[in-house]
Amino acid sequence: MQFSRLKRRTALHKGVIDIAPLVDVMFLLLIFFMLTSNFILQPGIKVRLPRAVTSEIIDSENLVVSVTSQDLLYLNYKPIQIGVLGDLLEKAARDNSSVLIKADAGASLGRIVEIWDLCRHLGIRKVNIATNQPGGAY
């Protein structure tokens, strides 16, 4: 009998949850993450590839040698000098890697031939030149 009296005295009150503090906290977290995040831009090399009708898509992993219109050299998107390039390509020849030459349409043919000849001299047999399909974007 004593339990029945306890039940009568106990009443459930529905609580009201105020969401304004929750919205404030979420807003502050949003501001915090926006201010502390880094926006990393991927650096790139501006190379306008020549167009070719007979180009093919290459699936294999390559060493990428880029030549800009000012004849500056980049290996895997990092600036490099021709002497250092020879040493790194010699290492690639031992690993039987392939090389992709991404030369700007305004780059000198002499620089491209120099890189191609260096690859052949070091024994790299898989040398490709990057091109765009006709009608493709630069």
What are the C-alpha distances in Å from 131 to residues 30, 50, 115, 119, 122?
A: 44, 5, 16, 19, 24
| Rounded alpha-carbon distances, angstroms, from residue 26 to 30, 51, 70, 97 | 6, 51, 51, 51
The pLDDT tens digits along the chain (138 residues) read 555 555 566 667 777 888 999 999 999 999 998 888 776 665 666 667 777 766 667 666 678 888 988 888 998 888 988 888 888 888 888 888 888 888 888 888 888 889 888 888 888 888 888 877 766 554
Predicted TM-score of the model (pTM)? 0.58
Indicate the class that CATH gives domain 62-129.
alpha beta
DSSP codes of every residue in 8-46: HH----------HHHHHHHHHHHHHHHHH---PPPP---
Amino acid at 34: M
- Complete edge-to-edge strand list for the sheet that includes strand 62-67: 78-80, 73-75, 62-67, 98-103, 127-129
Type of residue numbered 57: I
Delimit the domains of the chain by residue range.
2-36, 62-129
